[in-house]
Structure 1
Amino acid sequence: MSDDLVSVIMPAYNAALTIGDSAASVLAQTHPTLELIVVDDGSRDDTRRLVDAMAMVDPRVRLIALPANAGVAAARNAGIAAARGSYIAFLDSDDRWHPRKLQLQLEHLRRSGARIAYAAYDRVDRHGRVLSHVRPPRSLSHAELLKSNHIGNLTGIYHRSLGDARFRAIGHEDYAFWLEMLRRAGKATCVPSDGALAWYLAREDSLSSDKLRAARWQWRIYRDIEQLGRIAASRYMCHYAWQAVRKRS
């Protein structure tokens, strides 16, 4: 396991229209010591063929083809299981990174001594227009993360000395994942930057755009996974609702 190798996990399902730009943003990183593990989750379009073509040009690209659609949690878990790097990062097949994203994060992790880092990002529409800026706090504990998911999954990176958690097949699976990682690490740190280090494509038809459903997912994480009592869970739900409004302002 290389000391500075970053394994980038990219789940993909029918992503032929977007995966080219997403993968290119990974391969163009100024920190070149990486592997891009694309997990094709049973796509029916040209996703697999496009990734095969990328791998022919750049040996840092690896394809894992799942036999059937298993969902994003299973796809990310398959990528984690195959990863060779000392660091794990995630990027979905319709999102993009700033070219210096990994370099800045690794430098910051080494300076701070932290084992989890995250960053600012922008929510954009399909034309690339910025819908909102997401600027998370400078540092986080597990207790602070309970108030709201300040770690955009497309910006999170962790050192594998923490061990590899697994994504659960639930709504807000990324939030549950980072709560577990913060429980292990004790703290996480935000990389200082003048602007966004990643761009998240906000789709109108995404499951997370259903606010009532998202609130139910949040409640389930508090009660079933974090094992909070009703009063504590209700208090955190108030924080969650307030932060959800602020993130989109």
Structure 2
Amino acid sequence: MSEFPKGKKLVSIIMPAYNCEKFVDKAINSVLSQTYNNWELIVIDDASKDNTVSIVEEFSDLDNRIHFYKNEENKGVSATRNRGISIAKGEWIAFLDSDDLWDSSKLEKQMIVAERCDAKFLFTGSSFINEEGNSYKGVFEVPSKVSYKSLRNHNVISCSSVLISKLFFSNIKMEDDSMHEDYAVWLKVLKIEKFAYGINEPLLIYRISRSSKSGNKIKTLRMTYKVFRFVGENKVNSIYFTFRHVLSSVLKKYIKIKLVK
């Protein structure tokens, strides 16, 4: 039996979509399977050139909780997520990239913790799959909570695992796709909110893509450095936390995972 009390608050799920015909149906189906059912899914196509639009339109015709919008031209992930947030009707915002998946209990477990801990910013652990959907051994474990100071050392918050109060976005937006735009937002939020609360279960199934922004390690260094400068750290601190962050990411997230044969 669910522990969630009283009335269920609306969760607005933001999903940018760009040339994702291979994966988007699986992402949407993982939303449809949620045990917490008071949600709206806002899918925004960012000027795809494949069959993404027709696939998402089929889903939106079948379930009136799925709302589909199109950018007239390619805007990038930050602007697309910001547009989704501006449209959202829920008190809560969740993010799900079009190639990732959720465990069916993801939203329900987060809403229970939000109620129990009076939490306004939550995230979860992850398991991993490749582009073909094959699983990796091992999971990405997360702490029960993080602060601004601890998050500077290692970004343990995967964007597709986040559930966060919409109130934070009255003054904060995702900016600049040339950096880790979601990480910058989490740090900005944690300058306001004392903690983000983690659920140490792999409720996010994260797809590791060969074309991801973090695939090029030199590029990752630059993007991470830009995050720290963006949130107000000086140059010396930004260099220090960049190298510490990247080292932690490699050791804790990627080295331990292997494809299940």
Given that 1:132 and 1:247 are in contact with CA atoms closer than 8 Å, whether structure 2 keeps it comes out as no
Q: 2:225 aligns with which of 219, 226, 233?
A: 219
Q: Which residue of the partner structure matches residue 199 of structure 1?
A: 205
Q: Is 1:176 aligned with 2:179?
A: no
Q: 2:193 aligns with which of 185, 191, 195?
A: 185
Counterpart residue type for residue 229 of structure 1: N
Given that 2:155 and 2:249 are in contact with CA atoms closer than 8 Å, whether structure 1 keeps it comes out as no
Counterpart residue type for residue 35 of structure 1: E
Q: 1:91 aligns with which of 84, 96, 107?
A: 96
Q: 1:55 aligns with which of 43, 60, 68?
A: 60
User: Aligned-pair distance for 1:104?
Assistant: 0.1
Q: Is 1:242 aligned with 2:247?
A: yes
Q: Which residue of the partner structure matches residue 42 of structure 1?
A: 47
Could you say what secondary structure the match of 1:191 adopts? strand
Residues 117 and 231 of structure 1, relative CA distance in 2, 3 Å threshold: same
Q: Percent sequence identity over matched residues?
A: 30
C-alpha distance in 2, partners of 1:171/1:222?
10
Name which of structure 1's ranges 48-57 and 77-86 shifts more when overlaid on structure 2.
48-57
Counterpart residue type for residue 105 of structure 2: R
Q: Which residue of the partner structure matches residue 26 of structure 1?
A: 31
Q: Which residue of the partner structure matches residue 4 of structure 2?
A: none
User: Aligned-pair distance for 1:192?
Assistant: 4.3
Residues 78 and 140 of structure 1, relative CA distance in 2, 3 Å threshold: same
C-alpha distance in 2, partners of 1:128/1:60?
30
C-alpha distance in 2, partners of 1:46/1:230?
44
1:188-245: CA deviations, max 9, x gaps?
111243xx1011111112221101101011111112x122223322331232132112
Q: Is 1:81 aligned with 2:86?
A: yes
Counterpart residue type for residue 178 of structure 1: W
1:115-163: CA deviations, max 9, x gaps?
1000000222123221652112211111111112110001011112334
Given that 1:125 and 1:131 are in contact with CA atoms closer than 8 Å, whether structure 2 keeps it comes out as no
Given that 1:120 and 1:155 are in contact with CA atoms closer than 8 Å, whether structure 2 keeps it comes out as yes
Counterpart residue type for residue 14 of structure 2: I
Given that 1:3 and 1:86 are in contact with CA atoms closer than 8 Å, whether structure 2 keeps it comes out as no
Q: Which residue of the partner structure matches residue 69 of structure 1?
A: 74
Q: Is 1:108 aligned with 2:113?
A: yes
Q: 1:13 aligns with which of 10, 18, 27?
A: 18
C-alpha distance in 1, partners of 2:50/2:137?
29
C-alpha distance in 2, partners of 1:72/1:161?
21
Q: Which residue of the partner structure matches residue 157 of structure 2?
A: 151
C-alpha distance in 1, partners of 2:47/2:165?
29
Given that 2:14 and 2:41 are in contact with CA atoms closer than 8 Å, whether structure 1 keeps it comes out as yes
C-alpha distance in 2, partners of 1:137/1:71?
31
Q: Which residue of the partner structure matches residue 174 of structure 2?
A: 167
Given that 1:35 and 1:61 are in contact with CA atoms closer than 8 Å, whether structure 2 keeps it comes out as yes
Q: Which residue of the partner structure matches residue 3 of structure 2?
A: none
Could you say what secondary structure the match of 2:127 adopts? strand
TM-score when normalising by structure 1: 0.93
Counterpart residue type for residue 58 of structure 2: A
Could you say what secondary structure the match of 1:88 adopts? strand
Q: Is 1:134 aligned with 2:140?
A: yes
5+ residue gaps in structure 2? 1-6, 257-261
